[in-house]
Amino acid sequence: MEISERLDHLSWGAFHWRIALALGITWVLDGVEVTLAGVLANALERSPMLHLTAAEVGLSASFYLVGAVCGAILFGYLADRHGRKRLYVATLLVYFSGTLASACAWSFASYSAFRVLTGAGIGGEYAAINSAIQEFTPARLRGRIDLFINGSFWVGAVLGAGFADFALAPDRFPPDLGWRFAYGVGALLGGGIMLLRRYVPESPRWLVMHGRVGEAEQIVQTIEVGTGAGRTPSELAQDRGTSDAGLSEVTLSAVLGALVTNYRKRALLALALMAAQAFCYNAIFFTYALILTTFYRVPTAAVGSYLFPFAIANFLGPIVLGRFFDTIGRRPMIAATYVIAGLALAATGLLFRVDSLDAIGQTMLWSVTFFVASAAASAAYLTIGESFPLEMRALAIALFYAFGTLIGGVAGPATFGALIAQGSRNGVAMGYVIGALLMIAAGIVEAVIGPRAERQPLERVAPSAFCTGRQGATRRGAAQTVSKRHSGASISTG
C-alpha cells in the first residue's frame, strides 16, 4: 500500500485535530482582520495621530486585498516548489509582523503599507495551508473537514467584533489606543499558533512527489503509531519495495500552460465558483452596515449587533451541510448550494425592493441565504484543491483565489456601494439580482462539468500532469491501481 493510500485509510485522531487547529486557524485570522478593518473604521478616522478620511479607510482595505492577492500567488508558488512546511511558519510570520505593525502605524502611508503586509500573509496562508490540510485529511472525510475549516472564518468575524467592542469602549482606552489594542490581540493570536506549527510535519504526499520517500515514510509511520494503525515488519518491507512517482522541477510557465491546456474545464469551473462567491460575499459583507444605516436608520453604534446572527448562520452552514458533500457527493451538493443561495438572494432583493422588510427581517434573510452560501463558498476552495495535481495544487488555489477576489471581490463592494449611495431601492435590488444570477450560473457550471471527488484519493481525482518516462509510468500505474479499488466513473481532467 502506497503512502498516499495509507494516509487516506487512517482513522481521524489527535494528530488530525492538531493539524486542523494549527493550520486551520488561517480562516479565523482572516475573519478577525476583515472584521476589524470594518469595525475600526470610525476609530481610525477619530485617531489623533492617524486621523484618516473615509476615503483613506476604504483605500487601506483595498491595499489589504492587493497584499492578499500578491501573497497568495507568491507563497502558493513557493509552497509547490519548496514544500508546505517551510511556508507554515513563513506566511504566519508575515501576517504576525503585518498586524503587529498595523497596531503601531503613525500615518496613512505606514498604515497602508502594513495592511499590504498583513494581507500578503493571509493570502499566502490560503494557498499553502489549504493544500496541506487536504493532503493530510483521509479521503472519506476531506469534504466535511475542509468545509468546516473554511467556515471558521466566521468564528474570527465574531472574535474580531468582540475585540473591537472591548477595545473601543471609551472608558477603557484613549481614542488613539483602543484600535491599536484590537490589532495587537490579532498578533497575539497569531504568535500563539506559531508555536503549534513547529510540530506540524511536511506533507508526505509532497515529499513523495519530490522523490523523498524515506522522509515521507518516517512521517507516516509516526502518524500511524499515534492513531493505532502501525505497520507490521512485513508490511514495512513490502512498502520499501514500492514507490510513488518522483518529480522534476515544475516551472510557473508549465503550470500556467497546464491550466489552459490539460485543465481548461476545471479552470473554468474554479473561476466561476470563486468569482461568484467572492462577488456575493464581499458585496453583502462589506456593505451590510451601509444598508442598515441608510435604509433602516439603524444607529451606527448598533450595527455590530446585527453581525452576530449573520456570522453564526455562516459558521453553521458548513458544519450542518458538510457531511453531505462526502455522502451525496460534490457535484450535486455544490450545484444545489450555489443555486439555492442564488434563489434566496434574488428573493431577498425582491422583498427589499418592495420595502417589505425591517432591519431584523433583512438580517434574518441574509442569515438564511448565507447559511447555504457559506457551504457553497467553502466548497469552492475544496474543489480547486482537489481538481489539480499535487505539484501545482497550492499555486492553483492561489491563482483562482486571486482571480476570483479581483473579479468578484473588487466589483462586488464597488457595485453595491455605488448603488447604495444613490439611495434607490431599485438599484440595490438589481445588485442582489446580479449576485443571484452569478451564483446560479456557477451552480449550473458545476452541475455540468464538476468532477466527482467524494471519498476519492487526491491522486485519482487529479493524477500528475508533469511526470514523464519511468516516473510518469509509476505515477499513472499508481493512479490506475487506486482507481480499481474505488467505485465510480473515471474522471476527465479536461
Is residue 456 situated within a structural domain? no
Report which of residues 302 and 450 the model is more confident about. Answer: 450
Report which of residues 492 and 57 the model is more confident about. Answer: 57
**Is residue 144 scored above 90 in pLDDT?**
yes
With contact defined as beta carbons under 8 Å apart, do 50 and 106 qualify? yes
- pLDDT tens-digit series, residues 34-59: 778 777 777 787 788 888 886 777 77
Q: For the chain, what percent of residues have pLDDT higher than 70?
A: 87
For residue 472 the three cell numbers come to 510518469
Is the Cα torsion angle 464, 92, 377, 144 positive or negative in sign? positive
* DSSP collapsed to 3 states, the chain: CCHHHHHHCCCCCHHHHHHHHHHHHHHHHHHHHHHHHHHCHHHHHHCCCCCCCHHHHHHHHHHHHHHHHHHHHHHHHHHHHHCHHHHHHHHHHHHHHHHHHHCCCCCHHHHHHHHHHHHHHHHHHHHHHHHHHHHHCCHHHHHHHHHHHHHCHHHHHHHHHHHHHHHCCCCCCCHHHHHHHHHHHHHHHHHHHHHHHCCCCCCHHHHHHCCCHHHHHHHHHHHHHHHCCCCCHHHHHHHHCCCCCCCCCCCHHHHHHHHHCCCHHHHHHHHHHHHHHHHHHHHHHCCHHHHHHHHCCCCHHHHHHHHHHHHHHHHHHHHHHCCHHHHCCHHHHHHHHHHHHHHHHHHHHHHHHCCCCCHHHHHHHHHHHHHHHHHHHHHHHHHHHHHCCHHHHHHHHHHHHHHHHHHHHHHHHHHHHHHHHHCCHHHHHHHHHHHHHHHHHHHHHHHHHCCCCCCCCHHHHCCCCCCCHHHHHHHHHHHHHHHHCCCCCCCCCC
**Is residue 483 scored above 60 in pLDDT?**
no
Residues in the chain: 494
Residue environment code for 299-309, b if the CB has 16+ CB neighbours within 10 A, otherwise e: eeeebbebbbe
Report which of residues 48 and 409 the model is more confident about. Answer: 48
Residue environment code for 434-455, b if the CB has 16+ CB neighbours within 10 A, otherwise e: bbbebbbbbbebbeebbbbbbb
pLDDT given for residue 325 in this prediction: 96
**Is residue 328 scored above 50 in pLDDT?**
yes
- Looking at the structure of the chain, the number of domains it has is 1
Mean pLDDT of the 179-199 span: 83
Determine phi and psi for 294, rounding to 5 degrees: -80, -45
Is residue 483 situated within a structural domain? no
Mean pLDDT of the 133-139 span: 91
**Is residue 491 scored above 80 in pLDDT?**
no
Minimum mean pLDDT among 198-202, 299-303, 446-450: which range? 299-303
Q: Which amino acid is at 117?
A: L
- pLDDT tens-digit series, residues 329-388: 999 999 999 999 999 999 999 999 999 999 999 999 999 999 999 999 999 989 998 999
Cβ contacts of 301 within 8 Å, gap of 6 or more: none
Average pLDDT, the chain: 82
Mean pLDDT of the 400-410 span: 79
pLDDT given for residue 352 in this prediction: 92
- Separation of CA 267 from chain center: 17
Is residue 430 situated within a structural domain? yes
Mean pLDDT of the 396-412 span: 80
pLDDT given for residue 366 in this prediction: 92
472 falls in which pLDDT band (50, 70, 90)?
very low
- What is the C-alpha separation between 135 and 388, in angstroms, rounded? 12
Q: Which pTM was predicted?
A: 0.83
What CATH number is associated with residue 55? Answer: 1.20.1250.20
Is residue 106 situated within a structural domain? yes
Is residue 218 situated within a structural domain? no
Is residue 166 situated within a structural domain? yes
pLDDT given for residue 465 in this prediction: 66
- What is the C-alpha separation between 139 and 142, in angstroms, rounded? 5
- pLDDT tens-digit series, residues 99-110: 999 999 999 999
Cβ contacts of 93 within 8 Å, gap of 6 or more: 121, 194
- pLDDT tens-digit series, residues 214-265: 999 999 999 988 776 555 444 544 544 444 445 555 667 777 888 888 899 9
For residue 184 the three cell numbers come to 495587537
Is residue 470 situated within a structural domain? no
pLDDT given for residue 279 in this prediction: 86
With contact defined as beta carbons under 8 Å apart, do 150 and 377 qualify? yes
- pLDDT tens-digit series, residues 264-309: 999 999 999 999 998 888 778 767 777 888 889 888 667 778 888 8
Is residue 242 situated within a structural domain? no
Structural domain of 332: 3-202+250-449
